[in-house]
């Protein structure tokens, strides 16, 4: 009878740049500040980015008067006065030289002369196309940050300007535009994913008396990756073993496409039926797949079950409360998350009936019943569409702050759910938006990733880009795709055919899963019983073989971001 100890010591190793490049700057601000912060990258390719040399490098559009003004503290900025011609108000603009196959990261600080206005960043690309680079709600009296960007696919002269609807003066400062070649961008992503999702782990094998086991053999098996990656599940999985096999061999998290929604569980008033959702949950549990509860309520008009719409205020309140306590108490402790009031930026159904605090109250009720699940504000457009006026990052932030600041909601476990229904993705805008939302300091998930339109040839390529961008962002904590399979066709994006053989998009997904699970499969300890491994976060089984051990010693343990702070000691009796 001997004893074996394995010490796991996580150390962070400095990784050098593979591609010579300016590091990506994750700085973002969701506060309206008295003075803007300095231009990122010292302005990048923007000349006179802080307006300390008058309007040098900038041009003034026809019909606009502009000058450089100073704040009482001496900060210079450009002021463009609205014209009265019925066109959008324009800021000063700068001509820029763009290079093909480059991502351009944009940031700027904006203020308007009165009230608040949506200010858009617009690029004129070398081919003459106007491209939305992002938008923010700018206010008077303080500065708001806009972060965004664009991708150039051709070289030549372009332009950058800001505009707002209606008649308003646009103030601009600290403008920055930093180009990154595609390989540089990819390298940032790789380094960032390495830092966020992997740890360098030192493993020490010793006998019970503390003596190292020299030259012991270690075999390493990843049981479950730490980063949740999943897909939408449909009820057909209950009847088709090949579907079950395909799904459960790949994913660690699922959302049910429709089966937990109100219109599925109570199609007729007071006739609740959870049979299908229960069965799907049991199937997920059997395979160790975590489930996101989708959704408690849905805020868009056209998704209400027909008997709900005509209810008067009192009966609507009663029906909502019954729905909330019914679904949330049924699955509390069994789901890891709730999409609480789905799409409550694009929808206003409950607010229009019950007042502007309706959603805040729903989050509170759900939090009281289920204290463990993350409560997501699940929305589309925020990450996908630089010009989504309903759901742009500044509006997402404002709504989330409204919910969080509602009396009694301070401690609730909110999270950012970005549906991610992409067409052609604007990758620098996507990263910039994640930077902005990261300032909320709550978990961020991509919850319904797909790429359309259906059948477009570039879908697999763009899907891979979007998933890599999500995985590479340090603040993204999980991703679920919306490739919901049905025999009569998928929602937007299919990963498999009807025999559950992968389509090209499915092959991309499998390639990423394999890459994100890659780890050394074994090592031989050195003369001191030590080895160092670069391990992706997850749950592992370690098997140690050594002549002094009667049989191999097997232990499971978890490697995660906090591993670097502690020294794991595993005591194995052999």
Ligand X SMILES: *[C@@H]1O[C@H](CO)[C@@H](O)[C@H](O)[C@H]1NC(C)=O
219 binds ligand X (CB under 6 A): no
| Rounded least distance, CB 176 to ligand X, Å | 23
Helix (H, G, I), strand (E, B) or coil at 12: coil
**Cis before 146? omega within 30:** no
76 binds ligand X (CB under 6 A): no
Q: Tell me the C-alpha distance between 373 and 70, whole Å.
A: 49
Q: Kindly provide the residue ranges of all beta strands, DSSP E only, lying in 459-552, ordered along the sequence.
A: 476-481, 522-524, 530-536, 538-545
569 binds ligand X (CB under 6 A): no
Distance (Å) of CA 232 to CA 65, 256, 300, 448: 53, 6, 20, 8
Interface with ligand X in residues 407-436 (CB under 6 A) = 407
| Rounded least distance, CB 507 to ligand X, Å | 34
Selected range binding ligand X among 11-19, 351-359, 484-492, 498-506, rule: CB under 6 A: 351-359
| Rounded least distance, CB 348 to ligand X, Å | 6
SS (HEC) of 377-426: EEECCCCCCCCCCCCCHHHHHHHHHHHHHCCCCCCCCEEEEECCEECCCC
| Rounded least distance, CB 64 to ligand X, Å | 10
The backbone torsions φ and ψ at residue 270, rounded to the nearest 5 degrees and listed phi first, read 65, 15
Which residue, 411 or 457, has its beta carbon nearer to ligand X? 411
286 binds ligand X (CB under 6 A): no
21 binds ligand X (CB under 6 A): no
Selected range binding ligand X among 1-9, 62-70, 90-98, 120-128, rule: CB under 6 A: 62-70
Kindly state the tokens that stand for 430: 């996507």
181 binds ligand X (CB under 6 A): no
Q: Tell me the C-alpha distance between 547 and 401, whole Å.
A: 61
Which residue, 72 or 547, has its beta carbon nearer to ligand X? 547
Which residue, 241 or 547, has its beta carbon nearer to ligand X? 547
Interface with ligand X in residues 486-525 (CB under 6 A) = 524
Q: Tell me the C-alpha distance between 169 and 163, whole Å.
A: 10
Q: Tell me the C-alpha distance between 473 and 466, whole Å.
A: 11
Selected range binding ligand X among 147-155, 262-270, 350-358, 559-567, rule: CB under 6 A: 350-358
Active-site residue flag, 515: no
Q: Are the CB atoms for 535 and 519 separated by under 8 Å?
A: yes
Distance (Å) of CA 338 to CA 334, 371, 565: 11, 11, 31
Q: Tell me the C-alpha distance between 374 and 338, whole Å.
A: 6
Residue choice 12, 52, 53, 69 for contact with ligand X (CB under 6 A): 69
> CB within 8 A of 413, min separation 6: which ones?
367, 373, 374, 375, 442
| Rounded least distance, CB 401 to ligand X, Å | 10
| Rounded least distance, CB 471 to ligand X, Å | 34
Active-site residue flag, 343: yes
Q: Are the CB atoms for 355 and 392 separated by under 8 Å?
A: no
Selected range binding ligand X among 4-12, 420-428, 499-507, 545-553, rule: CB under 6 A: 545-553
The backbone torsions φ and ψ at residue 59, rounded to the nearest 5 degrees and listed phi first, read -125, 160
Please return the burial class of 320, using the count of CB atoms within 10 Å of its CB with bins 0-12, 13-18 and 19+.
buried
Instruction: State the catalytic residue, choosing from 419, 448, 465, 469.
Output: 448
What is the contact mask toward ligand X in residues 81 to 120, using x (rule: CB under 6 A)?
A: x---------------------------------------
Residue choice 216, 308, 436, 484 for contact with ligand X (CB under 6 A): 216
Residue choice 7, 274, 406, 500 for contact with ligand X (CB under 6 A): 406
Phi-psi map region of 279: left, alpha, beta (phi>0 left; psi -120 to 50 alpha): alpha
Q: Tell me the C-alpha distance between 479 and 344, whole Å.
A: 20
Which residue, 169 or 257, has its beta carbon nearer to ligand X? 169
| Rounded least distance, CB 70 to ligand X, Å | 7
Instruction: State the catalytic residue, choosing from 184, 187, 257, 343.
Output: 343
| Rounded least distance, CB 531 to ligand X, Å | 12
Selected range binding ligand X among 125-133, 145-153, 209-217, 477-485, rule: CB under 6 A: 209-217
Q: Tell me the C-alpha distance between 430 and 433, whole Å.
A: 5
Which residue, 321 or 524, has its beta carbon nearer to ligand X? 524
Residue choice 86, 210, 411, 547 for contact with ligand X (CB under 6 A): 547
* Residues near ligand X, by CB under 6 A: 65, 67, 69, 79, 81, 215-217, 301, 348-349, 352, 355-357, 405-407, 524, 545-547
Q: Which residues are catalytic?
A: 343, 448
């Amino acid at each position: 009878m001997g004893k074996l100890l394995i010490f796991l010591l996580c150390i962070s190793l400095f990784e050098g740049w593979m591609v010579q490049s300016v590091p990506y700057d994750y700085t973002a601000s969701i506060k309206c500040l008295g003075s803007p912060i300095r231009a990122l990258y010292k302005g990048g390719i923007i000349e006179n980015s802080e307006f300390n040399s008058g309007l040098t490098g900038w041009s003034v559009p026809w019909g606009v008067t502009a000058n450089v003004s100073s704040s009482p503290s001496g900060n210079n900025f450009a002021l463009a006065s609205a014209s009265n011609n019925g066109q959008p108000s324009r800021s000063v603009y700068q001509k820029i030289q763009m290079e093909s196959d480059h991502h351009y990261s944009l940031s700027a600080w904006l203020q308007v002369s009165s009230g608040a206005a949506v200010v858009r960043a617009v690029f004129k690309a070398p081919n003459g196309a106007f491209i939305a680079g992002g938008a923010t709600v700018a206010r008077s009296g303080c500065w708001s940050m806009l972060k965004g960007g664009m991708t150039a696919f051709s070289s030549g002269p372009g332009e950058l300007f800001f505009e707002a609807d209606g008649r308003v003066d646009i103030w601009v400062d600290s403008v920055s535009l930093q180009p990154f070649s595609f390989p540089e961008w990819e390298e940032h992503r790789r380094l960032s994913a390495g830092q966020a999702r992997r740890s360098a782990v030192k493993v020490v094998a010793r006998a019970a008396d503390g003596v190292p086991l020299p030259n012991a053999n270690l075999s390493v098996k990843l049981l479950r990756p730490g980063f949740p990656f999943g897909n939408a599940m449909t009820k057909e999985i209950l009847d088709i073993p090949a579907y079950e096999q395909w799904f459960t061999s790949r994913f660690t998290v699922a959302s049910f496409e429709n089966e937990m929604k109100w219109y599925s569980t109570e199609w007729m008033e007071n006739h609740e039926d959870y049979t299908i959702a229960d069965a799907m949950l049991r199937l997920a549990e059997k395979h160790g797949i975590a489930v996101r509860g989708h959704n408690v309520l849905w805020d868009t008009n056209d998704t209400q079950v027909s008997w709900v719409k005509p209810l008067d205020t009192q009966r609507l309140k009663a029906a909502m409360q019954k729905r909330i306590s019914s679904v949330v108490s049924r699955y509390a402790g069994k789901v890891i998350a709730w999409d609480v009031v789905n799409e409550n930026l694009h929808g206003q159904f409950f607010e229009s009936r019950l007042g502007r605090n309706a959603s805040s109250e729903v989050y509170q009720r759900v939090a009281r019943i289920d204290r463990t699940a993350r409560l997501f504000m699940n929305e589309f457009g925020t990450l996908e569409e630089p010009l989504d006026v309903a759901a742009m990052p500044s509006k997402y932030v404002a709504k989330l702050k409204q919910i969080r600041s509602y009396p009694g909601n301070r401690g609730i476990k909110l999270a950012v759910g970005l549906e991610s229904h992409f067409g052609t993705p604007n990758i620098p805008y996507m990263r910039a938006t994640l930077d902005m939302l990261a300032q909320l300091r709550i978990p961020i998930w991509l919850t319904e990733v797909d790429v359309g339109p259906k059948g477009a040839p570039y879908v697999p390529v763009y899907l891979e880009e979007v998933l890599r961008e999500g995985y590479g962002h340090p603040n993204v904590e999980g991703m679920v795709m919306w490739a919901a399979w049905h025999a009569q066709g998928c929602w937007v994006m299919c990963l498999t055919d009807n025999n559950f053989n992968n389509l090209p998009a499915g092959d991309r997904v499998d390639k990423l899963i394999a890459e994100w699970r890659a780890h050394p499969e074994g090592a031989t300890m050195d003369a001191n019983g030590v080895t160092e491994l670069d391990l992706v976060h997850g749950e592992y089984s370690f098997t140690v073989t050594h002549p002094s051990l009667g049989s191999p010693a097997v232990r499971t343990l978890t490697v995660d971001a906090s591993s670097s702070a502690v020294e794991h000691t595993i005591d194995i009796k052999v």
